[in-house]
Structure 1
Amino acid sequence: MAINTLIFDLDDTLLDFRGGESQDIKMLLGKHLGLKGKKQDQALAVYQKINKGLWSAYEQGAINQQDIFRRRFQETLAALQQTGQADPQEIEREYAFLRDHNYRILKGAKELLQSLAGHYTLFAGTNGQEETQIRRLRETGLFEYFDAVFTSQGLNVAKPDPDFFDQIFAAHPAMKREETLMIGDGLQSDIRGGQNARIQTVWVNLRDQVLPDDLKPTKIVFSLKELQEYLA
């Protein structure tokens, strides 16, 4: 049966979250801790490891989003042995503003959605804050291509929990699982999430990651151009 509905992840699938994050975190840690050059790069790597771990815990239902925002800079400063040198919550507040105004998109993202609009029903399905993600879609000009936007905050559940997808299907009763495709870069959130929801998946592997043995995406693409050709 043909695919007619696409659920797109946003960050690092269409929106260039990682590019903005790297620039903003390095700037903030430089500002608050006086780090420069390689020390900024090293501090960024520490932050990214901690942040990734917290988001993974969130996706597993072990913590909530506010725990991420409360803990990530606190734990980063501790790992850098900089506790007491800066206020982690002030860094979080400044980063939240920068993150919410990160309007970078990945090359080819708009062209991809333009080519798909009218041929598929397009949904955004993202683990993120509703107001932030909708604002970013509007400011990047991508919002108009989506029939609906679903966020973990709005649904009160995160990918890969099957309930994230169940709520999307419940909101659109005409949707059929065998006609739906989940597209994203996240191995756990998007690919495992799609498997949990019993729908087909496309893994957008833009950084040459290694695929775990227990994950079996329907298709792997290494660029948005390749994804566009696959869906044409």
Structure 2
Amino acid sequence: MKYEVILFDADDTLFDYSLAEAHALKSVFLEHQIELMHSHVELYRLVNQQLWNDYEKGKVTLDFLRHERFRRLFADIQVEMDAVYFSERYVQYLGEGSFLIEGADALIQQLLKNGHRAAIITNGIKQTQQSRIGRSSLANSFEHIIISEDTGYSKPHTGIFDYAFEKMNLSDKTTMLIVGDSLSSDIQGGINYGIDTCWFNPKKITNVSAIRPTYEIQRLEELLLIS
């Protein structure tokens, strides 16, 4: 066993964020009797990603992000709506979307059976992540669920990894691996902290960045071959 502790990103690594997002958008727009068009979804995703990128860089706070994405969306589609209340309802619906990536449950159970220790490390909104993870079959599989909102740091900042290292009571960084789908957040964060990294790349995206993961996998079960 090469790695004692494996840190997992949550969204689009173990949990299908796209499905959860689609459920939440459909539900909240329906609740407010606003027609949800495909162009609205695409615009929301663009705005949302821009704000999450800014959050990773420390340019905006999480509270600002969760409301600002809907302020910008409503301004663009010319809808008058209370963005703060709408956002809170969206977050509640998002928390209902506990959809696992194919193979996630089997992978985690096998890793635990093999003697590994597992934790989640996520930049997601605490309310949402706790709800989604708690509703899943993986609810009791992790020693810790480390959320940026609790630590005061977001990936790729080393502060959140320091927090994880202490929580897992480790003394050697070589015993820790991070697995995630984001080069800029998960992989760069692991590199910054000095631990090995595994890029989950199911869509086989070409890496044109300067960020180089230790490993790259397309299916979650491949992790069993390197852990």
Relative to the length of structure 2, the TM-score reads 0.91
- 1:63 matches 2:60: yes
Q: Are the counterparts in 2 of residues 160 and 194 from structure 1 also a CA contact under 8 Å?
A: yes
Q: Are the counterparts in 2 of residues 26 and 43 from structure 1 also a CA contact under 8 Å?
A: no
For 2:24, give the aligned amino acid.
Answer: D
For 1:97, give the aligned amino acid.
Answer: Q
Q: Tell me how far apart the structure 2 counterparts of residues 74 and 33 of structure 1 sit (CA, whole Å).
A: 17
Q: CA deviation at 1:130?
A: 3.2
- 112, 115, 124: which one pairs with 1:117? 112
Deviations 1:77-132 (A, max 9, x none): 2222x142x33223212211101121111111110100000421111111123343
Q: CA deviation at 1:171?
A: 3.0
Q: Are the counterparts in 1 of residues 148 and 160 from structure 2 also a CA contact under 8 Å?
A: yes
Q: How does 1:116-135 map to 2 (within 5 A)?
A: 116-118=111-113, 119-135=115-131
Specify the alignment match of 1:7 in structure 2: 7
- 1:168 matches 2:147: no
Q: How many residues align?
A: 226
Specify the alignment match of 2:182 in structure 1: 186
Q: How does 1:8-157 map to 2 (within 5 A)?
A: 8-29=8-29, 32=32, 34-35=34-35, 40-80=37-77, 82-84=78-80, 86-118=81-113, 119-157=115-153
Q: Tell me how far apart the structure 2 counterparts of residues 77 and 53 of structure 1 sit (CA, whole Å).
A: 16
- 1:222 matches 2:225: no
Q: Are the counterparts in 1 of residues 23 and 93 from structure 2 also a CA contact under 8 Å?
A: no
Deviations 1:37-73 (A, max 9, x none): xxx2211111001001111111111111000112001
| Structure 1, 43-52 or 27-36: larger mean CA deviation | 27-36
For 1:13, give the aligned amino acid.
Answer: T
Q: CA deviation at 1:225?
A: 2.7
| Structure 1, 86-95 or 11-20: larger mean CA deviation | 86-95
Q: Tell me how far apart the structure 2 counterparts of residues 173 and 226 of structure 1 sit (CA, whole Å).
A: 27
Deviations 1:182-205 (A, max 9, x none): 001112110111111111111111
RMSD (Å), alpha carbons: 2.0
Identity, % of aligned positions: 27
Q: Are the counterparts in 1 of residues 24 and 97 from structure 2 also a CA contact under 8 Å?
A: no
For 1:20, give the aligned amino acid.
Answer: A
Q: Tell me how far apart the structure 1 counterparts of residues 168 and 20 of structure 2 sit (CA, whole Å).
A: 33
- 175, 196, 202: which one pairs with 1:206? 202
Structure 1, unmatched stretches of 5+, are none
